[in-house]
Amino acid sequence: MSSYNRWAWGVLLALLLAAIVLMLWWKHRPALNPAAPTPVATSAVTVTPVPSPTILRAPTGYRLAGVAVGEPDSFAVVESPNGRNTLYRRDADIPGLGRLVRIEAERIVVQSDAGQFDLWLAPAATPTPTRNRTAAAQPPTARPAPRTPAAGTTPGSKP
């Protein structure tokens, strides 16, 4: 190898090494934040904690049976605890729940006196089929009497 090639490779290696050192320094450098000014108290401030909003649950027995989202009107079908389905629009009062605030694809938002809650789309309960069982035992069915072979024949033979 000529001395020129060795010199070029040396310079290239030195530049590569310098780039690696610079990248490592940049990644692990100390934070360059200037010292934050100390706050000066001008008056006493009282901080009162703000209560977090409580998440309300929908009253039991109510079910969102269906929705129809469209423009300009959207509709929601709500099933009440007595099994009656009723169609409502936005801003309608739902007896026992509150005012219907918003209708979305899978839920509605209802504003009650206690706050807002969501009522999610839910399938109707399907009854599980069961066999009817009776307490009284059924009388056994009578079996027909066995046939006796005719005189002069052997069992299993045909007359």
What's the rounded Cα separation, in Å, for the pair 142 and 139?
A: 9
Predicted model pTM: 0.47
Name the CATH topology of 63-120: SH3 type barrels. (2.30.30)
Q: pLDDT at residue 109 above 90?
A: yes
- Residue 90: band (very low, low, confident or very high) from pLDDT cuts 50, 70, 90: very high
- Residue 148: band (very low, low, confident or very high) from pLDDT cuts 50, 70, 90: low
Q: Tell me the average pLDDT of the chain.
A: 78
What's the rounded Cα separation, in Å, for the pair 146 and 112?
A: 78
- Can you tell me the mean pLDDT for 46-62? 70
Can you give the pLDDT at residue 12?
Answer: 85
Domain ranges of the chain: 63-120
